[in-house]
Amino acid sequence: MDRLAHHGANTGLITNVILGIVGAMVANVLLGLIGINASATWLAQGAVGLLGACILIAAWRMIRGR
């Protein structure tokens, strides 16, 4: 878990933004496929987007190996 919270990551701001947007879209699609629709409120959309973005950024950092 310490690897995910490392503060000296070589992931740039632009990469994080792009991964965050893509992660939010992927999370919305995957949840939609299993029948969970988070588009009712902005709070639900934000929570799904945040979760998807965090997962994709963490996966990117693990794959890249920093």
In tens, the pLDDT along 6-60 reads 555 566 788 888 888 888 888 888 888 888 887 778 888 888 888 888 888 888 8
pLDDT of residue 2: 45
Domain parsing of the chain, residue ranges = 13-64
The DSSP-derived string for 7-58 is SS----HHHHHHHHHHHHHHHHHHHHHTT---TTSHHHHHHHHHHHHHHHHH
What predicted TM-score, i.e. pTM, was given to this entire model?
0.66
- Cα distances (angstroms) measured from residue 42 to each of 29, 31, 48, 59: 16, 16, 10, 25
